[in-house]
Amino acid sequence: MARSFIEKIRSENTLENEYSRDLNLAFTVSLVLFIAAFLFVRGCTFQGYNPKKPSEIQGEEINIQAEIEEPPPPPPKPKISLPEEIVETTEEEADTVEIQETVDFDESEIPPPPAPTETVFELYQVDEPPEVVVQVQPEYPEVARKAGLEGKVIVAAVVDENGNVIKAEIHRSDNPIFNEAALAAARKMKFKPAKQKDIPVKVKVFIPFTFKLRR
């Protein structure tokens, strides 16, 4: 153990000696480089900046003369020839109006009124909707009465210009047993026709029929 301790001390002394030697060497090299740089900079000479003289530019004046064309003279005004004689009219002649003879009017030549249109309007498209004049209650089917059946049928009908139902079909039905009775009642109903711009027109309406037994 004493030997290892002595060797350790020797190695530490060797490192301390090498460190001081390296430090001295680095300092010496730095000093030499500093002296060389000082001598190099001292031998350099600096000259001031002398700007070049601006070159003279010689220009040549150019006279430009623009030729302006004069507008052409206006065309001569057309001559208006005046009538040789002007006939003067009196106030009485100016107030008189010539009336031609009337032609006999033949009533047979009056064109007939326009034929009714085939267009079927929806209820919201007309100015005046139709109004029920004659309400018809459907006959209760005997089979449905005996069976105690009840229901509701909505008929889609077309009312013409005279207020008659010209077409009827089932729109919705709770039970087909009531369909024929509802259609028969709808065809017998009478309406005040709908109008579009004061002209009677065809319109589509929905007529509900309720079949309910009396308790």
Hey, which residues does 120 pair with through a beta bridge? 202
Q: How far apart are CA 126 and CA 193, in angstroms?
A: 11
pLDDT profile of the chain (215 residues), mean per 10:
62 64 80 78 59 52 41 60 51 56 57 66 94 94 93 96 95 95 95 94 95 87
Has this prediction a pTM greater than 0.75? no
Residue 126: strand, helix, or coil: coil
> Would you call 79 exposed, middle or buried from its count of C-beta atoms within 10 A (0-12, 13-18, 19+)?
exposed
